[in-house]
Amino acid sequence: MAEPAVPMPRRRRIELPMLEARNRFMQLLRLASLTGQVTVVTDQGRPAAAIVPASAVLSDEPSTAPKTHTENAAAGWMRRIEQVREAVRRQHATRISELEHALTAAWDVIDRVAPRGTDRAADELRVAQRDVLSMPPPTEGSPARPS
């Protein structure tokens, strides 16, 4: 099972020149609302303004909105990761089943071309693949055998 997502730590205050803050304005707004990031905008090295979370200005009490939003986002990402993992597991099961079918067909051909005891190399392969050959042949559409 996956480890739980850890909420992002609150970032420290950063300072950006006015031009860079203008270019990254949307990103800075989102960081402020999601993580509580405070960005001080400087004009020729002197603080001129700040981009802060709205909760810091609108109320005197510390807001739990960024934390709740971060937790919700983390939970959503964990659900998505689990969905992707399950899809990959299904794809792998399908590929394994296809390979098992191909291997069974290959051994059928080898058995027809070189029956047991007639070709030493084929017999050595049979010994090396004894565990695979002892399994029942896969049925069409069956899930992959557990390994």
The pLDDT averaged over each successive group of 10 residues in the chain (147 residues) is 50 86 92 87 92 78 61 86 95 92 89 90 88 72 51
Q: Give the H/E segment covering residue 49.
A: strand 46-51
On whether the CB atoms of residues 49 and 74 are closer than 8 A, the answer is no
Predicted confidence at residue 137, as pLDDT, reads 67
Predicted confidence at residue 68, as pLDDT, reads 73
Predicted confidence at residue 147, as pLDDT, reads 45
First to last CA, the chain: 19
Predicted confidence at residue 143, as pLDDT, reads 53
Predicted confidence at residue 9, as pLDDT, reads 53
Distance between CA atoms of 144 and 147, rounded to whole angstroms?
Answer: 9
pTM value?
0.41
Predicted confidence at residue 14, as pLDDT, reads 87
Predicted confidence at residue 42, as pLDDT, reads 93
Spatial CA neighbour of 141 closest among 97, 103, 106, 99:
97
Distance between CA atoms of 15 and 77, rounded to whole angstroms?
Answer: 30
DSSP state of 26: H
Distance between CA atoms of 60 and 11, rounded to whole angstroms?
Answer: 20
